[in-house]
Amino acid sequence: MFQINRVAAKKTFENYVNQFDTRDDKVRLKIEHTARVTALCERIAKSLGLPEDDVNLAWMMGLLHDVGRFEQLKDFGTFNDAQSIDHAKYGVKLLFDDGHIRDYLADESCDNLIRTAIWNHNVFRMPEELNKRELLFCQILRDADKIDILRVNVEIPIETIYNCTTEELKNATVTEAVLQSFAEEHAVEHCLKRTPVDHVVGHASLVFELVYPISICIVEEQGYLEKILSFQSNNSKTKAQFEQIAQIMKAFLEKANCAMGIVSNQITDTFINFFSVIQ
């Protein structure tokens, strides 16, 4: 039986992040992101009918998945992995190479599974050699992370996250390779992004990679995707691009809902209203 003390684990995490400047918006962003991903991991695991031990394991993965972000920000001043370090790999180093996993968890029985999930939570494609149980927990964590990244994109200005000006963001166009990737209905690779607004499209594209039905339901329930797709640009070309992007996402969600046995006219009212405006 997997042993966990949630209260103690949360207190350990709180003590860890308090070493950093919690008045910093970027630090707060990751503290709040962690809390939400932790709750989402639990919700997704419960939706799959997993036993209590596995729900607890998913919860723990959510709590620990971004511990590498805080050192990344302190040392490099950015969350951009390409310009600094791979935060997932650094989190694994802190927890397992440096032994801090024991600060959170006395039970060693699931160390390898937790390590695998954290290591792979930010990769573009997961390795094929994962077994079914590894794949399950990686997908739970990845879905939870993607869902909350949509929230972050809405509640935290892109300028803050990616160190750009509002003028740069509002006048940028979507790179054609990014638009093509979105049209193919898969997540946009970081290497394709060239402009600030590419990151907006990239965040919306994460929806294409969601695995579990509850994840799509949560996205529609929360409404953050709608707000991302209603991005207001000062550039006429970008406005046209976002109309195209919204139509692609509308079609995808209709297919996803039908695949889940949901009639297409049951799509969230806010989405129906939004898409009717741009037609």
Q: In a structure prediction context, what are the per-residue pLDDT tens digits for the chain, which is 279 residues long?
A: 778 999 999 999 999 999 999 999 889 989 999 999 999 999 999 999 999 999 999 999 999 999 999 999 999 988 888 889 999 999 999 999 999 999 999 999 999 999 999 999 999 999 999 999 999 999 999 999 999 999 988 887 878 777 788 999 999 999 999 999 999 999 999 899 999 999 999 999 999 999 999 999 999 999 999 999 999 999 999 999 999 999 999 999 999 888 776 533 444 444 444 444 443
Q: Enter the pTM of the model.
A: 0.88
Two tokens, residue 171: 């006048």
Q: What residue spans define the domains of the chain?
A: 1-157, 166-279
Two tokens, residue 137: 């927990």
The fold for domain 1-157 equals Hypothetical protein af1432 (1.10.3210)
Residue 263 CA, distance from chain mean position: 27
DSSP for 3-49, written as a single string: ---HHHHHHHHHHHHTTS-TTSHHHHHHHHHHHHHHHHHHHHHHHTT
With a CB cutoff of 8 Å and minimum separation 6, the contacts of 85 are 68, 72, 75, 76
With beta carbons less than 8 A apart as the criterion, state whether 10 and 63 touch.
yes
